[in-house]
Amino acid sequence: MRFLRLLALIVGMLLVPILAPAATTEPAPEKVHALLQLLADPQVQGWLEQQRVGSAAPAPTTQPPNGDAMMAGQIDGIRAHLAAIAAAAPHVRGALADAAAKVHGEMASHGIDHFFLLLAAFAALGFGLERLFWLVSGGVRRWIIASRMDTPGERMRAAFARFGFGASWVAAFALGTIGAFLAFDWPPALRDALLRLLVAIVMVRLSLVFGRLLFAPGAEKFRMLPMDTPEAWFWHRRLVVNVTWFAFLYAFIEWLIAQGVEPGVWRLVAYVLSLGQLALIMEMVWRRPGVRDERYKSVGWLLTVAFVVLLLLRMLGAYGVFWLGALTLGVVGTMRLISAIARHLQRTPGAPPDELVVPSVQSAAVVRAIRLVLIMLAGLILARNWGIDLGKLMADPSATIRILRGLFSVVVIGLFADLVWFVFKAMLERKLAEAQAVGVEDTAHAGQATRLRTVLPILRNVSFVTLALIAVLTAMSALGIDIAPMVAGAGVLGIAVGFGAQTLVKDIVSGVFFLFDDAFRVGEYIQSGSYKGTVESFSLRSVRLRHHRGPVYTVPFGELGAVQNMSRDWVIDKLSVGITYDSNLETARKLIKKIGQDLAADPEMGPNILEPLKMQGVEQFGDFAIQIRMKMMTRPGEQFVIRRKAYAAIKTAFDANGIKFAFPTVQVAGGADASVAAAAQQMLTDSRPAPAN
C-alpha cells in the first residue's frame, strides 16, 4: 500500500532524535555551579594562563590524511564506540537506580502525597481550560462542520481550520498543565522528570490532532488522503502508538542525560528501547491494509531492511551514513505524502481514487517548492552532522572545494529548473484538459479548443528542450567551464547543419507557418494531394494523418502544399433522387421539408444540423426520371450519418404518399394489333404436319 511508504518513512524518522549524539545537551545546573567555582580558584586561573601562553607556539604542519587513513579512522571510531557501549553495560542498572533514587528522595522531601495532589491539580487545570475552550468555541466548530468542500481551496481551508482548532484545544491543555507547573519551585531531578513527562503528553495529544488532519477517521469529508474509513482508522492508530512510544522514550533519555548519566549508559538504554520502536514499525509494515501480493511483500521487505540497517548504523556509530539514509527516507516519504494530499484535494468529491487528476498550477508550484526547501534543509542538516562548515567551505580557494561548490550549484540549478518545468507543465496540462473538455456543441469555444489541442503539445516539447538546454549550460558555467566558445561553436554548427539539411529546415519552417495560418488542427480531416485523413498529432517536422480506412500517413510539412480542410466550421451536403414523371412535385417538396424539420428536432441529429434539409427544385429531366435536388448544412463530419437517415426517411414518406422512384425500364412493342399476331401464330401451328403413329 502506498500509504505505508508515506507514513512508515516519516514514523521511522522518529528514531533520529533519540539516536542522534547529544553533543549539545545542556549540563546539569549543579555541575555548572561546580565548574564556575573551580574556575574562580586563583591556582586554576594561573595554570590556564600558562597553558594559553604555551599553546601560542606555532603547531607543526601536518599533511591531510589520505583515503586509507580516513577509512582507518572511521573503523577505529566504530571500535571505540562499541567498546564504550560494552564497558557501560555493567553500569546500566546502577545508573538507573541512582537516578530513580534521586527522584524518589526529592519526592519524599517534598511530600509524596503533596506531590501527587499538585500533579492531579495540574491535570485538572489543564482539562478544565480545555473544556472551557470547547464551550466558548462552539460557533467555530459549527462553522467548520458546515463549511463547503467543493473546490480544492475550500477543502484545504476547512481541513486546516479543523487542524488549527484541534491544535488550539491542545494548547489550552498545555497552558493549564505546563504553565501551572512552571509557576512552582521544584527540586531539579523531579522538575526535569515532570516537565518532560508533560511535554510527552502534549506531543501525544498533537499526534491525535495531526492524525485527524491526515486521516479524519470519523469525518470522511475532511480526509486529506484517498482511503476508506477502516484503513483511515488503521493508520491513525499506528501513528498515535508510534508517536506515544517515541515521546515517552525521548523524554526518558533526555531526563537521563540531564541527571548526568554517562553517555555509554543512556545510549545503550536508547538502543534497547529503540528496538521496541522498530517492532511497532514492523507491525505496521506487515499488517497494513492492502492486497497481499508479491508487490506487497517486496515493499514490506524493503522497508524492513531499510529501518534495520539504519538502526544498526547508529548502534555502530556510523553517524555519517546513518544521517544520509535517515534524511533520504524522510525527504522521500514526506514528498510522497505531500503529493498524495495535493492529488486528493483536487479530486472531485466522491470520485473514485483512480480518477485522473490534472494538477493545478498552484498545486504544482507548492509541491515542487516544498520539495526544493526539503532537499536544501536536508543538505544543511547533513552538512551540520558531518561537521562541514559551509562558511569556510565557500571561502576555501582550493580546487577540490571549487569543484564541490560547483556541484552544489549544479544541484541547486537542477532543482530550480525542475520547479520551473513542473509549474509550466502543469499550466499547459491544465489548459489542455480544459480544451479537451470543450464539446462540439459549444460553437463559441470549439475552434479555440481544437487549436489549443494542436499547439500546446508542440509548445510543451519545445519548452522542455529549451529549459533543459539553458539548465545544462548554466550548470556547466557553474562548474567553471567557459561556455562562450561552445555557444559560438553551436551557432556555426547550426548554420552548417542548416545548409546540409535544407529539407529538414524546410519542413520545420513550413510547419511553423501552417500553425500560424491555423490551416488544420488535431482531430480535423484534411486532404493534400494523395494524402488524406484525420490529423492525429504533430512533431517538429511532420504531421500524422489517419485515413478513414485505417492506414496512417506521416507527411513532412514541406510536402503538404495546398491543404483542403474538410472539418472547419460547416459543410453543405447535396442529395438528389429521381422520381417518375407522373409524381406531384409540390407533394414531394412538402414531404422533404417535413423530413428536414423532423431531423432538426431529433435530439441526436438536431445539434449537428445547422440548416435543415430542403428541396431546391428540379435539377433536370432525364430519360426515365425527374431529378430533384436537396441540400442541408451540418457540422463537419456529421453529414454522412444525417444523409443516411434522410434517405431512409424520404423512402418511407414517398412510399406512403404515392410518389414513385423512377428506374430504367425497356418496353418492346410491334406495329400490328395483338390479336392479329395471335391469329398468325395459330395458323402456323395448324399448318404443321401431324406426327406419325
**d(Cα 44, Cα 49) in Å, to the nearest integer?**
9
- At 53 the pLDDT is 43
Asked if the model's pLDDT at residue 77 lies above 50, the reply is: yes
> Over 80: is that where the pLDDT of 517 sits?
no
Q: What is the DSSP secondary structure assignment for residue 94, as one 8-state letter?
A: H
Region of residue 317 (phi > 0: left; psi between -120 and 50: alpha; otherwise: beta): left
| Mean pLDDT confidence for 112-118 | 70
Report which DSSP code applies to 574: E
Q: Are 419 and 368 in contact (CB under 8 A)?
A: yes
Res 52: pLDDT? 47
pLDDT digits (tens, 9 = 90+) for 287-317: 888 778 888 888 889 988 988 988 888 888 7
Q: Is the predicted pLDDT of residue 326 greater than 80, yes or no? A: yes
pLDDT band at 93 (very low <50, low <70, confident <90, very high): confident
For the stretch 506-511, contacts whose Cβ atoms lie closer than 8 Å and that sit 24 or more positions apart, written own/partner, are 506/557, 506/558, 507/540, 507/541, 507/542, 507/556, 507/557, 507/558, 508/540, 508/541, 508/557, 510/557, 510/558, 510/560, 511/538, 511/540, 511/541, 511/542, 511/543, 511/557
What band does 26 get if pLDDT is binned at 50, 70 and 90?
A: very low
Cβ-based neighbours of 506, under 8 Å, separated by 6 or more: 557, 558
User: Is 258 strand, coil or helix?
Assistant: helix
Q: Is the pLDDT of residue 673 over 70?
A: no
The segment with the largest mean pLDDT, out of 232-236, 410-414, 669-673, is: 232-236
- Check whether 611 has a pLDDT greater than 80: yes
Q: Where in the chain is the domain with CATH 3.30.70.100?
A: 571-656
Q: What is the mean pLDDT of the chain?
A: 76
Instruction: Note the pLDDT of residue 12.
Output: 45
> What pLDDT, on the 0 to 100 scale, is given for residue 178?
75
Residue limits of CATH 2.30.30.60 in the chain: 513-565
pLDDT at 435 (0 to 100):
66
CA atoms within 13 A on the CB side of 103: 17
CA distances to 19, 96, 242, 261, 467 from 246, in Å: 11, 19, 6, 20, 45
The answer to whether residue 212 scores a pLDDT higher than 50 is yes
d(CA 302, CA 308): 10
pLDDT digits (tens, 9 = 90+) for 557-583: 888 888 888 877 788 888 888 888 888
Q: For every residue of 163-222, which 3-state class applies, written as one string?
A: HHHHHHHHHHHHHHHHHHHHCCCCCHHHHHHHHHHHHHHHHHHHHHHHHHHHCCCCCHHH
What residues does 534 pair with on adjacent strands? 525, 546
Lowest mean pLDDT among 253-257, 499-503, 634-638: 499-503
Q: Give the CA dihedral 277, 282, 287, 292, nearest 10 degrees.
A: 160
Question: For residue 150, with 0-12 CB atoms within 10 Å meaning exposed, 13-18 middle and 19 or more buried, which class applies?
Answer: exposed
Of the ranges 5-14, 165-174, 594-603, which one carries the lowest mean pLDDT score?
Answer: 5-14
CATH number corresponding to 571-656: 3.30.70.100
Confidence tier at 57 by pLDDT (50, 70, 90): very low
Distance separating alpha carbons of residues 291 and 300, to the nearest angstrom: 12
pLDDT band at 41 (very low <50, low <70, confident <90, very high): low
pLDDT at 503: 75
Architecture of the CATH domain 513-565: Roll (2.30)
Give Cβ neighbours of residue 258 (< 8 Å, ≥ 6 apart). Answer: 25, 26, 28, 192
Percent of the chain with pLDDT over 70: 74
Task: Pick the most confident of 103-117, 140-154, 426-440.
Answer: 140-154
How would residue 328 be classed by pLDDT, with cut points 50, 70 and 90?
confident
pLDDT over 50 (residue 471): yes
Res 221: pLDDT: 78
* Residue-level pLDDT at 497: 63
Look at 517 and 586; give whichever has higher pLDDT: 586
Highest mean pLDDT among 279-283, 333-337, 559-563: 279-283
Strand partners, 533: 526
| More confident call, 277 vs 677 | 277
For the stretch 237-253, what's the b/e string if a residue is b when 16 or more beta carbons lie within 10 angstroms of its beta carbon?
A: ebbbbbbbbbbbbbbbb
On the question of pLDDT at 37 being above 80, the answer is no
658: left (phi over 0), alpha (psi -120 to 50) or beta: left
Question: What SS3 class is residue 573?
Answer: strand
The Cα–Cα gap between 406 and 475 comes to: 8
pTM: 0.59
Q: What does the pLDDT read at residue 414?
A: 83
In tens, the pLDDT along 531-542 reads 888 888 877 778
Reported as a pLDDT band with limits 50, 70 and 90, residue 3 is very low
- Among residues 677, 593, 6, the alpha carbon closest in space to that of 343 is found at 6
pLDDT at 9 over 50: no
At 343, the pLDDT band (50, 70, 90 cuts) reads confident
What the block records as the C-alpha cell of 476 is 556547466
pLDDT at position 20, please? Answer: 45
Greater confidence, 30 or 551? 551
Least confident of 127-131, 151-155, 528-532: 151-155
Out of 140-149, 602-611, 663-672, give the one with best mean pLDDT. 602-611
Q: How far apart are CA 92 and CA 428, in angstroms?
A: 63
The Cβ of residue 581 has, within 10 Å, a number of other Cβ atoms equal to: 11
Give percent above pLDDT 90 in the chain.
Answer: 3
